Amino acid sequence: MLIVLAILLAGILVGYFSKWRLRRIDRLIIVIIWTLLFVLGIEVGSNEAIVSRIRTIGVDALIVTTGAVVGSTAFAWALWMFIRPRTPRQDAYKQEG
Amino acid sequence: MKGSLIILAFFAVGILCGLYRWIPFDFTAHRATTYTLYVLLFSVGFSIGNDKELLRSFRSLDPRVMWLPAMTIAGTLAGCAVASLFIPDRPTTDVLAVGSGLAYYSLSSILITEYRGVELGTVALLANVLRELITLLLAPLLVRYFGKLAPISVGGASTIDITMPVISRYSGREYAVVCIYHGIVMDFSVPFLVTLFCLI
């Protein structure tokens, strides 16, 4: 399904060279997202296989999220430890801002 | 926060419509959703390419922070690979596809539904909404124990909109630029990674 990436790239190129302003396209994006999630909701609600397995689905989602959060935290921490020595001490005081 | 609640409300109303058959029309049988998805992808691309301010703010970044999106993706995939050991009845690639949503729940759940069916799409929606909520709730703790980059990584694609205010509050205002840069790279990576893991 290279078509997905081709469409995304086409959008970036057209967006870059277009004179059209950003705000209108953001409205369009949010309305499309509402529509598609509404349709996804209908598919989920009318699908008995999902409705009857909703607990398993919830637990699986929780496990995946836990993995994603722990993994990304660990890697971001590693980068932070690598970067921090060169960062001046003073930014410890800026935290309350 | 309000934006994500509205999105969830649309999803919830859709579920009710599906459960009680309020709409006498079978959406799944139509290609309309596929084309609507293409319009969405084009629009997402357009908004990335269109914002010239963003390109300018990239140049003021600490070059080492440029690596953060790579760390986020590598960390997420590593964590999800481990998580898949606890979900034996799903293939590892499915779990990685869900994780590749990087908190961009709207786009990832729609894409995964398209590729792998509505069941895995629902897992993706829940998992990625949860990731955004966790970022909002845990940002202060993440900063305290794991440094100022941690909430940005956990926030994934949401750092460009919903979680940015919270992160700039706890990591510092100068990290708002990092949030934007990070969010853009995530926005672009999600369709790529999800497609990759769905088709392997």
The parent domain of residue A75 ranges over 54-85
Q: Most confidently modeled of B12-16, B31-35, B52-56, B88-92?
A: B88-92
| B68 vs A79: CA distance, rounded Å | 7
For the cut 60, the answer to whether the pLDDT of residue B35 exceeds it is: yes
Contact list, B188 vs chain A (CB under 8 Å):
8, 12
Answer yes or no: do A70 and A47 share one domain: no
Do the domain assignments include residue A74? Answer: yes
Answer yes or no: do A46 and A68 share one domain: no
Contact list, A88 vs chain B (CB under 8 Å):
none
- Kindly report the nearest CA distance between residue B102 and chain A, in angstroms: 8
| B31 vs B56: CA distance, rounded Å | 39
- Kindly report the nearest CA distance between residue B99 and chain A, in angstroms: 6
Q: Most confidently modeled of A20-29, A77-86, B92-101?
A: B92-101
Total domain count for chain A?
Answer: 2
Q: Which of B19-23, B52-56, B65-69, B92-96 has the lowest mean pLDDT?
A: B52-56
For the cut 80, the answer to whether the pLDDT of residue B18 exceeds it is: yes
**B48/A contact by beta carbon, under 8 A:** yes
Do the domain assignments include residue A97? Answer: no
Interface subset of B 109-128, CB within 8 angstroms of A: 109-111, 113, 115, 118-119, 121-128
Do the domain assignments include residue A8? Answer: no
Contact list, A11 vs chain B (CB under 8 Å):
41-46, 48-49
Predicted pLDDT at B81:
97
Contact list, B33 vs chain A (CB under 8 Å):
36, 39
Do the domain assignments include residue A76? Answer: yes
Answer yes or no: do A31 and A45 share one domain: yes
More confident residue, B100 or A97: B100
Do the domain assignments include residue A73? Answer: yes
**A27/B contact by beta carbon, under 8 A:** no
Long-range contacts of B115-120 (CB under 8 A, 24+ apart): B115/A1, B115/B194, B115/B195, B115/B198, B115/B199, B116/B198, B118/A40, B118/A43, B118/A44, B118/A47, B118/A50, B118/B28, B119/A47, B119/A49, B119/A50, B119/A53, B119/A57, B120/B90, B120/B94
Answer yes or no: do A28 and A46 share one domain: yes
pLDDT, tens digit, 9 for 90 and up, residues B146-174: 999 999 999 999 898 778 888 888 888 77
Do the domain assignments include residue A60? Answer: yes
Answer yes or no: do A47 and A69 share one domain: no
Predicted pLDDT at A74:
97
Do the domain assignments include residue A6? Answer: no
Answer yes or no: do A65 and A75 share one domain: yes
Do the domain assignments include residue A2? Answer: no
The ipTM is 0.83
Answer yes or no: do A42 and A65 share one domain: no
